[in-house]
Amino acid sequence: MRRIAIYGGTFDPFHLGHLIPTVRAEETFQFDAVYFVPAGAPPHKEKGELSRVTHRLAMVTVATLPYERFFAGDDEVFMTGPTYTVDTVRRYRNRFPDDHLYFLLGSDSFSQITTWHDWEALVEMTHFVVLHRAHMWGETLRHKVPERLRDRMRVVAPFESVPDPTGLTVYLLDHEPFPISATSIRDRQRRGLPIRELVPHEVYTYIEKYGLYRRHGEVRRDAQ
């Protein structure tokens, strides 16, 4: 039985705070495949707030090419209307019915799980691997999540041997937090500050080529 992981997010842009913890998760859980799925039209984002999903998918694609078990998922790219994590996870559950399915997300996102569309169904379809965000961990995180999930929570150290789960489990991967966010990267790019050390080289090249996240009036014509 294989271990299949899904990592959903806006990835605007895809950065080392996404990549490095996922590498640590892959090394710990020995995933057979990790699918990064850029959100199509998440309902909590205003129209036009995100870069085009094709740009975000392209950045995920170029960043994951060097990794044998990492894949870019285009599941939400061509969908119309709001896109919901529960529907994407259901498609993967149907695609891999006989495998262990894991959903990766940051601890800040996990702390808000009850605000997600149809979250009760979501938590019954997949295991979770929660990635360490420094401001939301330990007892602070535990008090934020619904009581029904607390008994499933298990702290896992990087490189720990993790057996196949016998029931639905929420794994808290206690890796070193990577203190960067997509919001701060976009802000730095608009202000002309360096971002080269915060994103994979391939993503930096893509952002520069298409003039993404520049100040108003500085967006290159080929980014339109």
Span 101-126, pLDDT tens digits: 999 999 999 999 999 999 999 999 99
Element holding 62 (H helix, E strand)? helix 53-64
Closest by CA to 50, choosing from 176, 220, 213, 214, is: 213
Burial class (CB in 10 A: 0-12, 13-18, 19+), 207: buried
Quick: pLDDT tens for 37-58.
Answer: 999 877 666 656 789 999 999 9
Q: What is the largest CA-CA distance in the chain?
A: 55
d(CA 202, CA 64): 9
d(CA 121, CA 125): 7
Within 18-145, strands assigned E span 33-38, 70-72, 100-106, 127-131
pTM: 0.92
Quick: pLDDT tens for 82-107.
Answer: 889 999 999 999 999 999 999 999 99
pLDDT score of 217 more than 50:
no
| Residue at token pair 């799925």 | 37
d(CA 125, CA 101): 8
Domains in the chain (CATH in brackets) are 3-217 (3.40.50.620)
